[in-house]
Amino acid sequence: MAAVLIALCAMLLEAGQPPTCLSKQLPSDGRRATTPAIKGVELYSWRTRDGTMRFSLLWGTNRLKTEAEVKSPTCALSAPQVKAALSRLAEGEHVFWIRDPSECPSCSLPGPEVVAELAAHASQVGITIETNPDEAGR
């Protein structure tokens, strides 16, 4: 199993895609992932220089992500693309919206209407978005 994971990571790195980039690893044929991720999924959002909001979905890990991982051009998604990616996550998935400056200094939440839209969509597809892991269950 470890050899398979190492080979997958090597393949992703060769393709210029960080191994933590989740959105490009989800089924692309409309199917959903079958089981939730062991350590959940992390959602990042930031505003580009031209004011556009971008998002990335990364596998949950026990380490802080680098800015290069979070903002990798191969992982960056628009709001409609992140909604589509959320729809392909396993039912029951937990998504942690990272907004702590110590974890991602240049990340920020979009306007309240976009936050509400993504949260409503997540609820419709059976996943949970938490804006602060310490607030889980509240």
Contact 44, 70 (CB under 8 A): yes
pLDDT tens, residue by residue, 101-112: 777 888 998 989
The neighbour count for residue 135, using CB atoms within 10 Å, is 8
pLDDT tens, residue by residue, 127-138: 999 875 443 333
Between CA 75 and CA 69 the distance in angstroms is 8
pLDDT tens, residue by residue, 60-95: 888 888 888 889 888 899 999 999 999 999 999 999
Domain ranges for the chain, please list them: 20-135
